[in-house]
Amino acid sequence: MTVSPELRGTQADTALKTPALLIEDVSHSYRERRALDHVSFDVQQGTFAVLLGLNGAGKTTLFSLVTRLYATQSGAIAVLGFDVARDPAQALSRLGVVFQARTLDFDLTVMQNLLYHASLHGIGGREGRELAEETLARTQMRDRAQDKVRVLSGGQMRRIEIARALLHRPSLLLLDEPTVGLDVNARKSILRYVRELVADENIGVLWTTHLIDEVDDSDDLIILHRGRVLAKGIAGDLVREAGASNVAGAFERIIAAERSEVEA
């Protein structure tokens, strides 16, 4: 399967309606175990989308496919119109990723970590330094530039990882359970910060979590369960459609409906 022709090509960056991320009919199996089953959804530019799923739902597998850690077995994935299989360099240059596991070098300073990332993206010298300083200012971490990463708190490290992921000015930011291990205040602060980024910079964000309280009524919500998308849409609309009073209630009803379908 290929990405629709109108979503591909050199004009992709300028086409306003091109989604930041497009997942079309993606399936993935580890030997006989199916981890993703005909998954389709998109993340529009300037949108905060939450991929909500319990353990084993397939969230990390999907991330691994978007970031090309694994090759796509079936279906298609495009970042701002660039197919990750056919045009990986173009697609990946428009992508920023914050992985679940910490990936900063603790023995380097914040600035050194950012410069290293910039050079991996082919941005060196003065340009790299300027971008790093600009990104630190955007993440309100400028005063920590010369600190070693190991002296930062968990929440500050997350901010630096987000700063690093934004350094090369991606159109799509993927965050895989970014609040794992953070206390409630740090969680709220990171969430608020990323939502502001979406509003200020028109990037698309895919925020992966199993924590229902991280979903806001105005978010785009994709519920992934055992490899299948059970519901997608504006969270508030899904709550109403499920006849629930909040996202947690809607999630429970949607999962229960799927369970009874499987058992029938």
Contacts with ligand ATP, residue ranges (CB under 6 A):
30, 33, 35, 53, 55-61, 210
Largest distance between two CA atoms of the chain: 63
* CA-to-CA dists, residue 73 to 35, 40, 96, angstroms: 12, 14, 23
Shortest distance in whole angstroms from residue 30 CB to ligand ATP: 3
Shortest distance in whole angstroms from residue 225 CB to ligand ATP: 9
Shortest distance in whole angstroms from residue 253 CB to ligand ATP: 20
Residue 69 or 137: the one with the smaller Cβ distance to ligand ATP is 69
* CA-to-CA dists, residue 38 to 10, 26, 78, 124, 145, angstroms: 28, 5, 15, 41, 44
Structural tokens at position 4 = 């629709």
Residue 111 or 180: the one with the smaller Cβ distance to ligand ATP is 180
Shortest distance in whole angstroms from residue 223 CB to ligand ATP: 12
Q: In terms of DSSP bridges, do strands 172-176 and 95-98 run parallel, antiparallel, or are they unpaired?
A: parallel
Q: What are phi and psi of 98, to 5 degrees?
A: -115, 110
Residue 33 or 126: the one with the smaller Cβ distance to ligand ATP is 33
Residue 9 or 56: the one with the smaller Cβ distance to ligand ATP is 56
Shortest distance in whole angstroms from residue 60 CB to ligand ATP: 3
- DSSP per-residue string spanning 143-161: GGTTSBGGGS-HHHHHHHH
Residue with token string 């980024």: 197
Residue 85 or 180: the one with the smaller Cβ distance to ligand ATP is 180
Per the CB < 8 A criterion, the answer to whether 27 and 74 are in contact is yes
232 burial (CB, 10 Å; 0-12 / 13-18 / 19+) is middle
Residue 55 or 146: the one with the smaller Cβ distance to ligand ATP is 55
Can you tell me the distance from the alpha carbon of 234 to that of 49, in angstroms, rounded to the nearest whole number? 9
Shortest distance in whole angstroms from residue 99 CB to ligand ATP: 12
Residue 69 or 120: the one with the smaller Cβ distance to ligand ATP is 69
Q: Residue 58 carries which DSSP code?
A: S
Shortest distance in whole angstroms from residue 226 CB to ligand ATP: 8
Residues 6+ apart with CB under 8 A from 259: none
